[in-house]
């Protein structure tokens, strides 16, 4: 009861998230007057105008008046039945002359209708329909006479005051009771107590009906009563009070029982108020009948629905349209009735009468508002399309802009719900595709030609509809969206795209001059639609600039939903002017964020990250790698709107994670990582919410990753890896508070500090399992697969089942490239990142580089099937080519065609093997230092393991091949490429060296192998200048025996390790070590050293730590190690 009351008094329903507020059609408002003479329009309803008098002629007017007078006299002289009709006729004339709802209720009471069952027979069905209809009309328009003193709420609030006043008037409750009793066929000759007793004693409706004392309502009255009930918003929607089930007779019994209850409550309150002498005290007695009256109104609509189902074929088009509008507005639709009404409307229009735009638009609006898809609605859309296409545009020209806008909105809304269909005939989809396309095509043409006639809301809703249905969209618009949006058929896609582009430009040029008339929601709907459609032009950019200026000037008028939608649209459309971003997000503060929806918060910071709007305080949230003295306080942070907005979004996600949907969680985390803002507390809280805590807490209520889509899983993995990778920055603020490790070790250690080692492993295990279930592998886009693989590699985590699955899927897609079964192709970065991740994690996938070769060659081929530096540069960057070449070397697989291709792309061939030419071609300023170092290793591997390929570095390499940023200002050009080797001795290595000294193993630390050594001893030509190239931690140079002290950075963690796998270490041959496995770079280096004739032993860090500093144990360990190495 309480819920219903709250709905009734407060009223209103919010629009669905992501939907525009639609200009709600009003329905055709019938006066309902004098309907007992249905074949004649009574001129006495209103005075005739001068024009009418002249057009009719005085003689004709006199004859009509005489005819009316004769009819009235006949009614007067007739029997009781005729006199009753005459009285009803007079009452109707009085009702239509009323100025206010109070006047209508006064007439009802003055005739004594409120004290009798069904009005005591004083009112007929027309009177009831007219009375309720007039009250609803008066409550739909502001009455200045009722405006309270100092009223500042505007006309909308005044209308609400009028509505509440009517609903709290006991006379209205009694009028509604009488109407419901009459509709249920109650005997009007009974008293209220008799009706109550008879209702309890017998089946009144089935056995107690009296034809003489019961009223019969027709279709027009049904639609008018439903219209009025909907306009008054007195009935709760079906999600508050379910629609009644059962047959019409059962509903009639329920209707009468509920009416008696309302009457009882009204009487009870009246007695209580009468007992109080103080007017103020009387006013404090609540109108306790209102909840019951709301239920009565709902049952009234349900009863009308049931009656309409029985005689739907008698409904005229206008009546059918109005009834469907009313039930949709009230939120109490019935799918079967809607389908029948749509069929009736379509059949009647096609057979008997020309169609009327309002009937079409109202009916489609009703279907869309209720989300009801049916064969009838598709048939209706087809009728609209046929009517618009015919008559040389004559019918289209009769549509008002609001009707065009509502029609477009309805068609798009219904079309977007296709995935919710159950058992819909597939053939109907083709009909809908064609019909919807034709309608939207005509509406686009109308908007283009009549844009001046369209009001702001009509413009924005029409553009919203085009975007939602994907009418005329550009392919580039699909880049952000993961799930395939339902789009219209592409039978005329190019023509539609041209038409839409022209329409958008015409519209933009027009509305940019009147943006001040657009409300914030209309501005964001407009920008949202344009962004989704992917159209760009100078005119559109000018429009976005105008919307941005309006946002800045009216920022306080923008709600959080307006801010989110506007910024999201700006970012998607690549409009990156920072000022509107910063001004709008200034409204999203820590104190206000609680009122924001999760989707709004996630969209706002996604927009900031996409547009690259950086916070002033990038270290504001880093509690693990930034010293407290270098972090700002909340007051300082609040001075920067972007920092404060990020704080607000993070706080809400940590406070109420269950309120955030999977995509919203993903977008928040992605945004922080994209902006380069570390927030360990946020990422830890989300991980614990999803997979449980470090200590096993919260494991019973974990959310899991089962509902994340493939993009969500990939982005989540990327976000966590990127957060940890951000520690590898040159920022002294970060480095000063860490242990100053770098590279892979620093990344993994940071992840453990931020989230916890167990939680990190558990989280990424859950990611792997999520990818491998529910067919996510085949549904994943290449970017999802690449992001996931890259993330695991950055953190040094290997799930062999995941990587085998990704490898199989990638090979399948590459083999199908260019065929009709081809999926979305891999982009260059996705391809390079994937194979780099596989190699880095030392996951051996035989045949992966070989499978990649034909794919890469085809992607970079010219029309004649060949490739050159230009065609390669159109697809790859040189860094990506170097990464692929390095990965092939690590995986020890060198497909000849692929390696030749990579060398051509990186170093050129023939006359194009020129550093200046290639630098200009790729626009990269030269090779990065890391790329040069990697290519040294690739060349060495080729010389040692695949010399038959005949590939070599160009003369003089790497001189002049490096980037200008690597130069230190010296005169020697070779300094543009510093030594690729950076030596660093760890404390662990020092203690091992000391122990080896004690055991008699003569050695040096950090022995360096120069490029000159390789040339002299093995004929490997890497550089004309001597460069430090390879190092060995501890080396006996004479005997070529070396010891590598392998710290944590040399290993990866196996997430799908099985306990029966080998858990010991062969110290002179790297491999599996329990849950740890050496990574690809470490094994690659070991392989190269063995190829150069070195015998290498390995000291894993955890084994040395287990010795706990005991020198005797350390010496024994080293002695055994040397024995194993020398025996190798």
Mean pLDDT by 10 residues, the chain (1128 residues): 37 40 51 35 39 46 53 50 64 84 88 78 87 88 63 62 87 92 84 73 48 75 93 92 87 90 92 89 89 94 92 88 92 91 81 75 90 89 88 85 94 85 80 91 95 96 93 65 51 83 97 96 95 93 97 96 96 96 96 95 97 94 88 90 97 96 97 96 96 74 91 95 82 54 72 90 95 92 94 95 95 84 82 96 93 94 93 96 97 96 96 94 92 93 95 90 56 36 76 94 92 88 84 94 92 82 50 76 95 94 92 95 87
pLDDT value for 780? 92
1077: helix, strand or coil: strand
Cβ atoms within 10 Å of 670's Cβ, excluding its own: 24
How much is the pLDDT for 540? Answer: 96
Rounded-to-integer distance, Cα 318 and Cα 848, Å: 67
Structure tokens at 822: 């081809």
* pTM confidence score: 0.82
Q: Can you tell me the distance from the alpha carbon of 21 to that of 734, in angstroms, rounded to the nearest whole number?
A: 48
**pLDDT score of 1068:** 54
Tokens of 974: 């070779």
Return the pLDDT at 484. 45
Mean confidence (pLDDT) of the chain: 84
DSSP state of 910: G
Query: Would you say 346 and 380 are in contact if contact means Cβ atoms under 8 Å apart?
Result: yes
Q: Quick one: which H or E segment has residue 902?
A: helix 896-907
**To 5 degrees, how large is the angle CA 294–CA 296–CA 302?**
110
- Residue 122 to residue 175: CA distance in whole angstroms: 12
Which residues does residue 1117 pair with via DSSP β-bridges, in sequence order?
Answer: none
Predicted confidence at residue 15, as pLDDT, reads 35
Euclidean distance between CA atoms 563 and 575, whole angstroms? 15
> Distance (Å, rounded) from C-alpha 62 to C-alpha 56?
10
* H-helix or E-strand spanning residue 798: strand 797-798
Strand pairing class (1095-1100; 1041-1046): parallel
Order of strands, sheet of 1004-1010, starting from the edge strand that comes earlier in the sequence: 1004-1010, 1028-1036, 1041-1046, 1095-1100
Q: Residue 192: what pLDDT?
A: 76
Beta carbons within 10 angstroms of residue 66's beta carbon: 10
What is the 3-state secondary structure of 942-988? HHHHCHHHCCCCCCCCCCCCECHHHCCCCCCHHHHCCCCCCCCCCHH
Tokens found for residue 935: 């290519």
pLDDT at 56: 43
What pLDDT sits at residue 119? 79
According to the model, what pLDDT value does residue 38 have? 33
DSSP letters for 1004-1061: EEEEEEEHHHHHHHH-----SS--EEEEEEEEETTTTEEEEEE-GGGEEEETT--TTS
Strands of the sheet containing 1072-1073, edge to edge, are 797-798, 1051-1054, 1076-1078, 1072-1073
* Separation CA 36–CA 655 (nearest Å): 64
Q: Which of 321, 159, 148 is nearest to 227 (CA)?
A: 321
CA atoms of 1081 and 524, how far apart (whole Å): 51
């Amino acid at each position: 009861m309480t819920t219903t009351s709250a709905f009734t008094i407060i009223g209103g329903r919010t629009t669905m998230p992501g939907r525009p507020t639609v200009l709600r059609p009003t329905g055709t408002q019938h006066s309902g007057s004098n309907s007992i003479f249905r074949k004649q329009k009574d001129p006495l309803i209103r005075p005739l105008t001068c024009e009418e008098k002249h057009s009719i002629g005085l003689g004709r007017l006199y004859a009509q008046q005489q005819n009316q007078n004769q009819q009235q006299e006949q009614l007067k002289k007739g029997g009781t039945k005729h006199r009753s009709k005459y009285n009803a006729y007079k009452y109707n004339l009085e009702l239509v002359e009323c100025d206010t709802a109070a006047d209508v209720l006064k007439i009802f009471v003055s005739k004594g209708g409120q004290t009798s069952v069904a009005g005591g027979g004083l009112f007929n069905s027309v009177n009831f329909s007219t009375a309720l209809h007039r009250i609803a009309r008066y409550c739909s328009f502001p009455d200045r006479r009722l405006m309270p003193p100092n009223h500042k709420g505007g006309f909308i609030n005044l209308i609400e005051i009028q509505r509440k006043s009517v609903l709290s008037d006991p006379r209205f409750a009694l009028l509604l009771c009488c109407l419901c009793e009459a509709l249920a066929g109650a005997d009007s000759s009974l008293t209220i107590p008799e009706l109550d007793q008879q209702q309890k004693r017998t089946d009144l409706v089935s056995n107690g009906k009296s034809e003489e004392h019961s009223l019969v309502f027709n279709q027009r009255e049904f639609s008018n009563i439903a219209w009025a009930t909907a306009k008054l918003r007195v009935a709760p929607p079906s999600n508050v009070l379910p629609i009644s089930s059962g047959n019409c007779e059962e509903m009639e019994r329920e209707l009468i029982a509920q009416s008696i209850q309302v009457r009882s409550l009204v009487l009870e309150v009246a007695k209580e108020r009468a007992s109080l002498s103080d007017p103020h005290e009387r006013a404090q007695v609540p109108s306790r009948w209102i909840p019951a009256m709301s239920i009565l109104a709902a049952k009234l609509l349900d009863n009308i629905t049931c009656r309409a189902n029985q005689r739907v074929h008698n409904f005229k088009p206008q009546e059918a349209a109005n009834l469907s509008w009313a039930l949709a507005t009230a939120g109490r639709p019935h799918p079967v009735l809607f389908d029948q009404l749509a069929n009736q409307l379509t059949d009647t229009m096609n057979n008997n009468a020309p169609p009327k735009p309002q009937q079409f638009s109202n009916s489609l609006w009703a279907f869309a508002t209720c989300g009801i898809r049916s064969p009838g609605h598709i048939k209706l859309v087809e009728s609209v399309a046929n009517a618009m296409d015919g008559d040389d545009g004559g019918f289209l020209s009769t549509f008002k802009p609001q009707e065009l806008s509502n029609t477009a909105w309805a068609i798009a809304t219904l079309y977007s719900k296709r995935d919710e269909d159950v058992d819909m005939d597939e053939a109907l989809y083709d009909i809908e595709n064609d019909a919807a396309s034709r309608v939207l095509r005509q509406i686009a043409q109308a908007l283009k030609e009549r844009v001046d006639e369209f009001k702001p809301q009509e413009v924005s809703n029409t553009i919203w509809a085009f975007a939602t249905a994907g009418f005329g969209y550009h392919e580039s618009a699909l880049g952000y969206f993961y799930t395939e949006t339902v789009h219209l058929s592409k039978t005329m896609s190019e023509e539609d795209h041209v038409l839409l582009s022209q329409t958008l430009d015409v519209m933009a040029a027009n509305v940019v001059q009147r943006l001040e008339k657009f409300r914030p929601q209309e501005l964001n709907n407009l920008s949202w639609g344009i962004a989704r459609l992917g159209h760009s032009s100078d005119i559109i950019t000018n429009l976005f600039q105008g919307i941005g200026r309006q946002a800045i000037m009216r920022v306080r008028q923008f709600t959080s939903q307006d801010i989110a939608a506007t910024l999201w649209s700006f970012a998607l459309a690549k409009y990156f002017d920072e000022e509107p971003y910063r001004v709008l997000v200034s409204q999203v503060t820590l104190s206000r964020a609680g009122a924001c929806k999760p989707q709004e918060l996630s969209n706002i910071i996604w927009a900031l990250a996409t547009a690259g709007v950086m916070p002033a305080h990038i270290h504001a949230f880093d509690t693990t790698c930034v010293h407290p003295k270098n972090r700002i306080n909340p007051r300082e942070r609040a001075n920067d709107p972007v920092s404060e907005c990020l704080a607000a979004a993070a706080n809400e996600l940590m406070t109420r994670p269950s309120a955030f949907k999977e995509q919203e969680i993903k977008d928040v985390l992605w945004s922080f990582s994209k902006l380069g803002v570390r927030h360990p507390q946020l990422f830890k809280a989300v991980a614990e919410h999803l997979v449980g805590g470090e200590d096993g807490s919260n494991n019973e209520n974990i959310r899991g990753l089962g509902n994340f889509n493939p993009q969500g899983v990939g982005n989540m993995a990327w976000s966590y890896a990127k957060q940890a990778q951000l520690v590898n920055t040159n920022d002294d603020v970060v480095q000063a508070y860490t242990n100053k490790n770098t590279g892979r070790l620093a990344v993994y250690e940071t992840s453990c500090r931020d989230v916890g080692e167990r939680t990190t492993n558990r989280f990424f295990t859950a990611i792997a399992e999520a990818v491998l279930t529910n067919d996510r592998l085949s549904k994943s886009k290449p970017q999802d697969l690449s992001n996931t693989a890259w993330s695991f590699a950055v953190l040094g985590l290997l799930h062999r089942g995941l990587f085998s699955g990704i490898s199989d899927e990638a090979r399948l897609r590459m083999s199908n490239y260019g065929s009709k079964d081809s999926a979305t192709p891999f982009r260059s970065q996705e391809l390079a990142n994937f194979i780099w991740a596989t190699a880095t994690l030392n996951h051996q996938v035989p045949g992966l580089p070989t499978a990649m070769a034909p794919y890469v060659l085809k992607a970079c081929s010219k029309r004649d099937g060949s490739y050159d530096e230009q065609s390669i540069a159109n697809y790859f960057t040189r860094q990506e080519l170097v990464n692929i070449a390095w990965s092939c070397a690590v995986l020890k697989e060198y497909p000849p065609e692929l390696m030749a291709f990579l060398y051509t792309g990186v170093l050129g061939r023939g006359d194009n093997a020129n550093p200046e030419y290639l630098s200009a071609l790729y626009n990269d300023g030269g090779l990065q230092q890391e790329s040069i170092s990697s290519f040294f290793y690739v060349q060495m591997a080729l010389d040692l393991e695949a010399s038959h390929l005949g590939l070599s570095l160009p003369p003089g390499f790497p001189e002049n091949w490096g980037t200008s940023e690597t130069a230190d200002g010296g005169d020697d050009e070779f300094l543009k490429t510093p030594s690729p080797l950076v030596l660093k001795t760890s404390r662990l290595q020092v203690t091992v060296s000391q122990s080896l000294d004690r055991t008699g193993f003569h050695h040096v630390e950090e022995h360096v192998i120069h490029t000159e050594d390789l040339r002299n001893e093995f004929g490997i030509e890497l550089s004309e200048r001597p460069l430090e190239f390879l190092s060995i931690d501890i080396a006996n140079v004479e005997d070529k025996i070396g010891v590598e002290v392998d710290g944590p950075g040399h290993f990866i963690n196996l997430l799908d390790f099985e306990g029966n796998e080998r858990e010991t270490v062969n110290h002179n041959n790297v491999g599996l070590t329990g849950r740890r496995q050496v990574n690809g770079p470490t094994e690659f280096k070991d392989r190269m050293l063995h190829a150069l004739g070195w015998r290498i032993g390995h000291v894993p860090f955890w084994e040395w730590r287990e010795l706990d500093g005991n020198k005797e144990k350390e010496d024994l360990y080293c002695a055994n190690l040397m024995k194993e190495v020398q025996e190798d």
